[in-house]
Amino acid sequence: MLKTILWIGCVATLLCWAIGAYNRLVRLRAATIESHKVLQNYALDKKISSGLQDQDVQLEAKIQMAKNTHDSAVLLYNQAVKQFPARFIATLFSFKPLTHNIGKPE
Q: What angle do CA 43, 47, 52 make, to 5 degrees?
A: 110
| 55 has pLDDT over 80 | no
pLDDT of residue 75: 95
| 25 has pLDDT over 60 | yes
Q: How confident is the model at residue 50 (pLDDT cuts 50, 70, 90)?
A: low
pLDDT of residue 47: 76
- Rounded to whole angstroms, the Cα distance separating 65 from 77 reads 18
Calculate mean pLDDT across residues 76-97: 94
Query: Between the CA of residue 56 and those of 36, 40, 67, 73, what are the distances in Å?
Result: 20, 16, 16, 25
Q: pTM of the full predicted structure?
A: 0.81
Burial of residue 69, with CB atoms counted within 10 A of its CB: 0-12 exposed, 13-18 middle, 19 or more buried: middle
- Rounded to whole angstroms, the Cα distance separating 68 from 95 reads 22
